Amino acid sequence: MKRIALFCVLLITCCPVFAQNYDEAKVPHYTLPDVLKTSSGKVIRNEEKWEKLRRPEVLKLFEDHVYGQMPTDYDSIRYALTEDDRPEMDGKAVLKQVGVTVFRKGNSVQINVVLFVPTQAKKPVPVFLLINNRGKENTDPTRAKKSEFWPAEMLIDSGFAIAAFHVSDLAPDDKDTYATGVLQKLYPEQLKKDNGMKAIGAWAWGASRVMDYFETDRDIDSKKVIVVGHSRGGKTSLWAAAQDRRFAACVTNCSGNTGAALARRQFGERITRINTTFPHWFNNNYKKYNDKENALPVDQHMLIALVAPRPVYATNASKDLWADPKGTFLALKAAEPVYALYNIKSGLPKDPPGIDKPVIGSHFGYHNREGEHNMTAYDWGNFIRFARKF
């Protein structure tokens, strides 16, 4: 018994303990960084100064302290259709499977894209692009398995194309093997930098390469591509939209910490927990802010602001306090001043809406769905309604 007790003591001592707060009364007082004030103290008062001075500064702060650099150079890119215009869904859609291969310095990485396009379209159609961080069966091109996580039939019936790629094509979601994809093969120098790209940066980079393909596909309106992600994929969709302004809109679903939720609230998942459990997601510099959220030069309202003036839809689920529903809504509200520079009113209410009461008619969309951490047909139905506004 003594040995068992000693073992338990050692186990508790060796394992990190993360105190997570789910009580609004225990949220500490915090002050958000002013998204409209430069590092030198200059106040930004118009769109031109935001674009010229503050936006590049905020983007670099996120690169240096959170997500890592986003390399843009490569030698060439090629597209190979392995399936082209195959009728599916009782003739309502055609299937395209595309290999997007990127070459740099003698090495290459292939991103495998599944794309369904409605057959009744009279012109190029808008498309939802999912950054799939769950099993590949969720985006099954054969449709033998259908998932609410990627309800292709619903999107086709609504007149949208729907596409997906899997994060493992860029960087396996594993702390030991994440570098075996795009990082080791194309950008090994990033692994040596404290502000170098890691897994989430690699996934966002991949979304941009799929966008490159969309610009060549006559069936797709490349001016109307909505990038979508859930959870860690939702962190990625925001970063992809911030970096690549070709994305027309961004959907970030239950993305929580280092996604759409404010870090300084210290509610639900915190920086220490995410950096300890998933050390491969963000750059090395981000570890400096473990238990030091207030020392960060940014917070997530500033990431949302980088998407301006394009629409952003953020979601939560009632039982997913880990992702801080209130902190997500407050981040959207705190990004409103940047949208105002473009003469855009968000349309969000003063306070978070009730459960299953989506805000659709604004440049910011938001809902807090009843249920668990997931992406469902209810979520997608609201994404469709939101996209039709724009």
The residues annotated as belonging to the active site are 231, 373
Residues 6+ apart with CB under 8 A from 105: 75, 186
From the list 194, 278, 270, 273, the residue with the least C-alpha distance to 236 is 278
Neighbour-count burial of 370, counting CB atoms closer than 10 A to its CB (0-12 exposed, 13-18 middle, 19+ buried): exposed
Q: Give me 274's structure tokens.
A: 């995410």
Q: Give me 304's structure tokens.
A: 């949302």
Sheet holding 161-166, edge to edge: 76-88, 93-104, 107-118, 161-166, 125-132, 220-230, 249-253, 312-317, 364-369
Please name the amino acid found at residue 222: S
The answer to whether residues 379 and 253 touch, using CB atoms and an 8 Å cutoff, is yes
From the list 272, 261, 263, 373, the residue with the least C-alpha distance to 319 is 373
Beta bridge partners of 332: none
